[in-house]
Structure 1
Amino acid sequence: MLNKKTNLTGRQKAAVFLIAVGSEVSSEIFKHLREDEIEQITFEIARLDKITPEDKEKVLVEFNELMMAQEFISNGGIDFARGLLEKALGNQKAIDIINRLTSSLQVRPFDFIRRTDPQHLLNFIQNEHPQTIALILSYLDPQKASNILSNLPHTIQAEVAKRIATMDRVSPDVLREVERVLERKLSTLASEDYTSAGGIDSVVEILNLVDRGTEKTIIEALEEEDPELAEEIKKRMFVFEDIVLLDDRAIQKVMREVDNSDLAKALKSVDTEVQEKIFKNMSKRAANLLREDMDFMGPIRIKDVEDAQQKIVNIIRKLEDAGEIVVARAGEDELVM
C-alpha cells in the first residue's frame, strides 16, 4: 500500500501529473491556465530529474481522489461529498481529502479582490450588476463586506443584500469566468487611474533633495498651518543613520552636546558603518568606554533606542539651524575650501 504523502510541493505534483498524462493532454490543460501558472509549472518540469514510479502513482491517486471529491462537492456540497468519500475510502481518508481540497479552494475565489484596497474596490464594483456585487461580497470577510455594502449607493444596497441572502451554489466554471473578467477589468483600472501618490514619505523625499533655504521656508509655513504635520515631516527628514553624511568636524560638535547614555542606546541597533563613524571621531579611551557602556546595558527596548536616536537628531537639527554645522543635501552647491 502506498504512503499517503509525498515530499513533493504542489507545483512539483502538477509537473509530475502533466508528465504522466503525456504531452497531448498536457497541452490541452495548458489552454486553461494563466501564463504565470504555465511558466511556473514548465519550470518545475524542467527541474525534475528522475520521477520514481511510486511518486508518479501517489500523484495520480491524489489527483483522482481530489477530482472525485470536487465532483461530489459540485453535486451536493461539502457534507454530501464527505459522506460519499467515507463510504468509498473510509472516514480518515475522507477527512484528509476534504481538508486538502477545501484549504486549496479557500484561497481561490476572488483572492485578487481580497488584496485590493477597500476604497479602490468600492469605486470598482459599485457600477457592476447587483448579482455580481453580491457574489463578490459573499467571498469577502464580513467586516470588509459590511464596509463596502454600507458605502454602496442606497438605491442598490437592499437589492445586493437580498441577492446575497438568496444566493445558492455557484458553478466553479461560472465563478472562474466572473473572476477572470473582473480581474482583467480591475488590473486595467488600477494601471490607469489608481497609481498611489503623495503622502508624508513623498514630501520628505522631495524636501531632502531641495536646498536648505527652500526646505526652511516650506517647513516654517507648514508650522503655521499644521504644526502636527510639520513635526511629523521634520521627524522623518533626517533619520539617525544619516549621521554618516556629516563631516568629522560636525560629528565632533554633535558629540559634545550628546549625553553618553543616549549615545550608547542610540548605537545599539545601527549597523557597523554608523558605529565606526562615531567611534573614529572620539578619542580611543572614550570610544572604548562607549563600547563598554553598550555591552554593559544588555538588551534594551526598541522604543528606548528610538527615543535616544531622536534626541540626537534634534541636537543635529538645532546645530544646523544655528549655522554651526552643515548637513549635506543634494541640490546645494558644494563648499570649496
Structure 2
Amino acid sequence: MMDFEDFGGSALSTKPLSKAEKAAAVLLAMGKGVAGKLLKYFTQSELQNIIACAQTLRAIPPDELLELVNEFEDLFTEGTGLMDNAAAIEGILEAGLTPEEVDGLLGRRTAFDDYQANIWDRLQDADPAFVGKFLSREHPQTVAYILSQMPSIFGAKVLLQLPDSRRADIMNRAVNMKEVSPKAAQIIENRVMELIAAIEAERNSNGSNKVAELMNELDKNQVDTLLSSLETISKESVNKVRPKIFLFEDLMFMPQRSRVMLLNDVAGDILTMALRGATNEIKECVLSAISPRQRRMIESDLAVQNMNLNPREVAIARRAIAQEAIRLANSGQIFLKEEKKDGDKPAEAA
C-alpha cells in the first residue's frame, strides 16, 4: 500500500510542505488519468488528509514542484502553478472513484445527511398539537412519510393529535410505504420547512403572549402608557401585543351572548365595585347583559356615593372580571371579540 508518510525529502521553501501537502501537490500535478489510478492505494483517512491539504495548498513554483517530483519514484510531470487546487483535486477524485466515494470524501453526503437530520430533529422540539394541526391539512400519504421520518417518540405524540378517523389510514400507508422518489421527497421536505417556519413564528409569538399577560394585570391607564412607550421603540411589537390584551373596558367589544355568559356568573358586589367610576357607556354595556333584578340592585348601590372608595379595590374587581373572560375564552366557552365575517370591511381608524 502506498503511504504518503513514507515520502521523504523536503522542498526548498521558507515554509516547508508537510508530507501530506507534498502528496497533494504531486497528485495535482500529474493529472487526472494517472492520479485517479493511484488514489485507490491510499486509505480513506489519508485521502481526506490529502484533500484538506489540496484545498489550502499554497502556490508552488515549477522548480520547487520539480524537486518534489524527484522525491517520488516513477512519477513525473511539469509544474502547473496549481492555481485551482480545490477544483483540480475534485476532478482527480471523480476520475478515479465512484460518485458515492467522491461525495463521501468531499463531505457532500455528510452535509446532506446533516441537513436531513436537521429537518426532522428540529421538529421534535415543537408542540405535538401544533404539528398535528398543521399535518391535518395534508394528504395522508404525505403525513405518513413525515411521521416515518420523525423521531419515534415525537412521531407517536403527533399521531395522537390527528383525528381518529385518519389515524388508521395514515398508519397503513406508513407500514406499506415504498421508496419515495427524490423529487417527491424534496417537495415534502420543502413543506416541512414551511412547518418549521410556522413553528418558529409561533415561538416568537410567545414573547408577545407573556407581555400581554403582564399587561392584563394592569389597569387601562397603565397599559395605555406602556403601549405608548413601546410604540416609540417598535410599532411592530405593539401590533403583536395589543390584540392579546383584554381589559375590563374591552367588554364593550365582546359579543352580547358571550358577555351575558360571563357576567351572569360574576358576583353582584364585584360587578358593583368594577362599575364605580366607569363611563356611562361601559355601565350600560355591563348592565344590559345581566338580569333585570340584578341590574336594579347594582344601579341602586351605584346611586349611593361611596366617599371611602378605594381605587385599588376597583382595579382588582375589574381585573377579576377580565381574567375570568380570558379563562372562559381560552377554554372555548366565549369569544372576546366579534368574529369577522367574510365580506366585512375592516373598521376605519378613528
Task: Identify the TM-score tier after normalising by the shorter chain.
Answer: 0.3 to 0.5
Larger Rg: 2
The TM-score with structure 2 as length reference comes to 0.34
The structure richer in helix per residue is 1
Q: TM-score, normalised by structure 1?
A: 0.35
